[in-house]
């Protein structure tokens, strides 16, 4: 059963207009959920008042994150997803020139109005509805959904850049990486590569990375390689001539509800809380310590995406601090070299089991709570919303690179 509709699609609606290359660099990051419960909570009849309030907060936060991304004007969007077509063992880049996800027909509201309440996927703006049903749709539904027929949205994939990233990672000893193409040779297939739902939109081109399916049972064990890969990807993406945004599509703990498909775990709430603190502070110990210890019980699909993003941001953070120190004639702390060894390497994350490397995380406490102290080029995280209106938790967060010159959207 597919219960996931990305709020990522809602956030990306504003990216239909981008700028020519200027100030090429990694310009923004975001964590976005893909739960359909928050797609249009005002019209979802399955929600009680508490769930509706929580889902409405997530919905508003996704729109706010979308405005943040639009203002960053990315030309390339790197997306890490836990729910793409997956290799059993290897991280996979999608190599068709286009990728597509679809919106299925939506259920009618009580009273037979025929308007949309949610979906297995969101679709492009302007889909509309016919006849009197149009008047029954909220603005979000008019933009994202159609109640009567299946619709699909294509996005452009930067195949050449994806192949470059793949080769770069393999040269850096990341052999557990591959590329996937469907229905034709890489870069030449006429048919779009299938996405699980209509997750993406906009005229920016995409770099799509899918985590291997071993992540379902080995996510904590995989964290060191994913952290290292994030740091390597920073080096590659930062060197590109385009403005790049990095997005993580993923939800938090899936074990909040005893009646849910994964049951209840006492790790669910502490996991979500640790992620929230990490998003606000970028502290390694919150994500790689507390959240990693809780992941076995929490069963978060977004954990590895956050670990990858953490590696990217802190590679950039350390480089900025090194540069600032060099400008002052002193030596910056070489923190990025410690990151790859500070994650839990041997533990399963089971409750009560201390993960290997936890001690070093608690001792180094890097970065400090001010996450770089405002040095240009460092990063500031901001948690916009964290709720669990259903059995799984969802968070919306943005990550701002300090000191970049603002670029106006034309």
Short-list 342, 338, 355, 404, CA closest to 376: 404
Q: Phi and psi (nearest 5°) for 365? A: 50, 45
Share of the chain above pLDDT 70, in %: 67
Chain centroid to Cα 393, Å, comes to 14
- Which residues on adjacent β-strands are paired with residue 99? 155, 193
Whether residue 226 has pLDDT greater than 90: yes
Sheet holding 76-81, edge to edge: 177-180, 91-94, 205-210, 76-81, 244-249, 26-32, 394-401, 379-387
Residue 14, pLDDT score: 52
> pLDDT confidence of 328, banded at 50, 70, 90?
low
Residues 381-405, mean pLDDT to the nearest whole number? 93
Confidence of residue 367 (pLDDT cuts 50, 70, 90): very low
**Phi first, then psi: what are they for 255, rounded to 5°?**
-130, 45
**Helix, strand, or coil (residue 33):** coil
Asked if 355 and 220 count as a contact pair (C-beta separation under 8 A), the reply is: yes
| Chain position carrying tokens 């960053």 | 72
Radius of gyration for the alpha carbons in the chain, expressed in angstroms and rounded: 21
- Could you tell me which residue, 410 or 260, shows the higher pLDDT? 260
Helix (H, G, I), strand (E, B) or coil at 347: coil
Cβ atoms of residues 86 and 194 within 8 Å: no
Structure tokens at 150: 């299946």
The per-residue pLDDT for range 9-23, each reduced to its tens digit, is: 556 555 544 433 345
Q: 389 and 47 in contact (C-beta within 8 Å)?
A: yes
Distance CA 346, CA 166 (A): 27
pTM here is 0.80
Are 28 and 398 a contacting pair, CB within 8 Å? yes
**Residue-range domains of the chain with CATH:** 7-401 (3.40.830.10)
- Reported as a single tens digit per residue, the pLDDT across 70-106 is 899 999 999 999 988 999 999 999 999 999 887 665 5
pLDDT 10s digits, 252-311 = 999 999 999 999 999 999 999 999 999 999 999 999 999 999 999 999 999 999 999 999
Residue 350 has pLDDT above 60, yes or no: no
Residue 314 three-state SS: helix
Residue 198 clears pLDDT 70, i.e. is over it: no
- Distances 333 to 42, 320, 373 between C-alpha atoms, Å: 49, 11, 14
**Alpha helix ranges (H) inside 186-302:** 215-238, 268-281, 284, 292-298
Alpha helices by DSSP H, 73-182: 133-136, 139-144, 159-171
Using alpha carbons, select from 32, 2, 25 the residue that is nearest to residue 239: 25
């Amino acid at each position: 059963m597919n219960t996931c509709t990305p709020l990522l699609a809602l956030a990306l609606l504003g990216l239909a207009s981008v700028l020519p290359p200027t100030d090429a660099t990694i310009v923004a990051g975001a964590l976005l959920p893909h739960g359909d419960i928050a797609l249009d909570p005002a019209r979802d009849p399955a929600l009680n008042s508490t769930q509706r309030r929580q889902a409405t907060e997530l919905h508003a936060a996704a729109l706010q994150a979308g405005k943040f991304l639009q203002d960053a004007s990315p030309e390339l969007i790197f997306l890490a997803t836990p729910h793409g077509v997956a290799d059993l063992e290897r991280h996979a880049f999608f190599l068709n020139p286009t990728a597509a996800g679809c919106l299925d027909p939506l259920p009618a509201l009580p009273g037979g109005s025929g308007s949309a309440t949610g979906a297995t996927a969101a679709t492009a703006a302007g889909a509309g509805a016919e006849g009197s049903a149009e008047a029954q749709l909220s603005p979000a539904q008019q933009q994202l959904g159609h109640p009567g027929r299946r619709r699909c949205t294509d996005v452009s994939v930067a195949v050449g850049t994806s192949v470059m990233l793949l080769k770069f990672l393999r040269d850096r000893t990341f052999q557990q990486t591959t590329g996937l193409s469907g229905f034709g040779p890489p870069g030449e297939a006429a048919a779009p590569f299938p996405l699980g739902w209509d997750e993406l939109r906009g005229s920016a081109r995409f770099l799509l990375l899918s985590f291997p399916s071993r992540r379902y049972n080995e996510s904590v064990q995989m964290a060191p390689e994913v952290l290292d890969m994030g740091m390597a990807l920073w080096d590659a993406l930062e060197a590109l001539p385009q403005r790049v945004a990095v997005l993580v599509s993923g939800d938090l703990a899936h074990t909040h509800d005893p009646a849910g498909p994964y049951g209840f775990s006492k790790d669910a709430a502490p996991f979500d809380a640790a992620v929230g603190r990490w998003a606000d502070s970028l502290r390694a110990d919150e994500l790689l310590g507390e959240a990693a210890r809780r992941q076995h019980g929490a069963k978060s699909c977004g954990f590895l995406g956050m670990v990858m993003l953490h590696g990217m941001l802190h590679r950039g953070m350390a480089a900025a601090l090194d540069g600032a120190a060099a400008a002052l004639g002193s030596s910056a702390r070489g923190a990025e070299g410690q990151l790859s060894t500070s994650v839990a390497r041997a533990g399963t994350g089971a409750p009560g089991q201390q993960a290997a490397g936890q001690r070093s995380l608690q001792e180094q406490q890097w970065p400090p709570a001010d996450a770089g102290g405002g040095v240009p080029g460092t990063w500031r995280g901001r948690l916009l919303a964290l709720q669990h209106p259903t059995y799984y938790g969802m968070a919306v967060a943005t990550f701002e690179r300090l000191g970049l010159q603002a670029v106006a959207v034309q």
